[in-house]
Structure 1
């Protein structure tokens, strides 16, 4: 009997020691977690909690805390990327506005101060002022259009559109310009109607943007192509050129609003980087997608995918 009592007492002491040590370890581990989190937050580091423990509850807590830290880092990264993007876009827009406005002010100053100008010179100066004013207005309109698209304020209509008819009409508008520039024009559009669902104005804007893009930045290749390709459930609009192209380093960036073509294709033209961003947003709002494939001086193709309607 005595032995049994002693054994029970020893067991009780051992259990209490284990519990004490366990609680002591928990307090130590929780203190580590608290101090480490405080450091990560105050110093804004990208560290994670590294703690080897046998406590399954603390293990589970660590996993969830590290998931939260990962999520927080992604949010910070996205925010920094967007902030950088906006700063660069605003800088580009400011630059693009400053150039024509400087020209406008220069010509107005000449018109005000030079009393010996001929009628011909006055008319030529006013024509330049008008062209530069239109350039400024177009840039402002593109900027506000992008803001509306990204904020969801611009709603597109959805109707049945014959993409072949729209494409033929647009390429005909450019045909004389292209011939005068001695471009080869390669057109592959089905004779029969091919219907897609979308907003007609948006589709026209998309194709216009891509053709203009091909003329400006692919001019070295002296070719512009427009092709309509039909799949079972989709229709593909391909606009191509044989210019300098876009290398692999820039291919994933061309649709970003901070991207400017001065970074890659044509150093003689500098834009605010809004055209292709607007194009992408319009296509996505119509439930489609846009992609790029480029082999410099061979073929650069922007492909727009839209949903096909069979009736």
Structure 2
């Protein structure tokens, strides 16, 4: 979007509008002169046609005469002239200002029509005071919010399209294998029972891959919602991680890796949804085993302050390229697509983990340097119950 233009200090009138103002001023002056003469003539007529009040008005006539014709009345004539001119100037100024504000409104309406015709990168450039200024600011704010809503809607639509494309692609590959092997079985194109078992086993494995993808996709759509319900209870986060470490000790030993949990505390009490947090740590430990091939150690550390708990899970497997670090938590992103297909990754695990951490009002990031890849998590010790 283009940057907003610099606001002008005033509205520049066209030659036609300046002519209108001049004509308005001349017409007003003429009308004021005619009005003054009319009032004067009416007063004269009233005085001359009302004989019964001649005596009462004699002094008024004499005063008027003395005011305008007497050489000794300059002290009265000057204030009267100033008063009349002041009234005339006020009327003239009021009419010109009213007409000028009408022209301002025309310019604002013209700018608004220009924006409504699809020029959403344009803003009304005038800087005015009073109600007109507040109106312009309100219109510009409204246009900004409308543009932001349109862009957000486009982003959501693009996200939906990408999601459908990615899901379709990831499901189609194993589904093609399932249909292919089941087709061979259906057409009895196998030579032995061993071939039959091989075909069914392959179809079963591919079906499990599809189920994992569907489950991850379902979980991802749930935790992506900011109002996703959390079963918040008080639990021991250290005990939770210790139990997960025990569960992963055997798979780690199969890959000749050791899991080392380092903590200076006996227990750490916090509030949150332990079931969802188990999903986070289970995903991180699983990834450390899957993608830490060639590494020998997984180290988990935990620290706390008065308000937060800091958890780090790192392994000394292959480092993640810098260009990939900033995309790790994007859905369906894989650092190495071939390696992910081999390990059965859906590309949703880290996106789910980040969403769960966000629901707990925490943060998660990844670093990969000096031979260590680390995932760092910050969680509040006390999480408010969400309604």
- Short-chain TM bin: 0.7 to 0.9
Matches within 5 A, 1:1-311: 1-2=67-68, 3-53=78-128, 55-151=129-225, 155-183=229-257, 185-190=259-264, 192-219=266-293, 223-242=297-316, 243-245=318-320, 247=322, 251=326, 253-256=327-330, 259-262=331-334, 265-268=335-338, 269=340, 273-285=347-359, 287-296=360-369, 298-308=371-381
Q: CA deviation at 1:30?
A: 1.4
CA distance in structure 1 between the aligned counterparts of 2:103 and 2:371, rounded to whole angstroms:
65
Cα 1:261–1:193 change in 2 (3 A) is same
Q: CA deviation at 1:176?
A: 3.0
CA distance in structure 1 between the aligned counterparts of 2:226 and 2:252, rounded to whole angstroms:
36
Q: Which has the larger radius of gyration?
A: 2
Cα 1:108–1:249 change in 2 (3 A) is closer
Q: Deviations over 1:41-73 (max 9, x none)?
A: 3305222110144x4321222222222222223
CA distance in structure 2 between the aligned counterparts of 1:20 and 1:273, rounded to whole angstroms:
70
TM-score (norm 2): 0.69
TM-score (norm 1): 0.83
Asked whether the equivalents of residues 156 and 199 of structure 1 are also in contact (C-alpha less than 8 Å), the reply is yes
Report the RMSD for the aligned CA atoms in angstroms: 2.8
> Relative contact order, CA 8 A, sep 6+: which one is greater?
1
CA distance in structure 1 between the aligned counterparts of 2:119 and 2:153, rounded to whole angstroms:
14
Cα 1:221–1:282 change in 2 (3 A) is same
Q: Deviations over 1:183-211 (max 9, x none)?
A: 45443245622222222321211101122
Structure 2, unaligned stretches of length 5 or more? 1-66, 69-77, 383-387
Asked whether the equivalents of residues 234 and 271 of structure 2 are also in contact (C-alpha less than 8 Å), the reply is yes
Cα 1:186–1:41 change in 2 (3 A) is farther
Q: How many residues align?
A: 302
Asked whether the equivalents of residues 362 and 380 of structure 2 are also in contact (C-alpha less than 8 Å), the reply is no
Q: CA deviation at 1:85?
A: 2.0
Structure 1, unaligned stretches of length 5 or more? none
Cα 1:248–1:114 change in 2 (3 A) is closer
CA distance in structure 1 between the aligned counterparts of 2:254 and 2:94, rounded to whole angstroms:
90
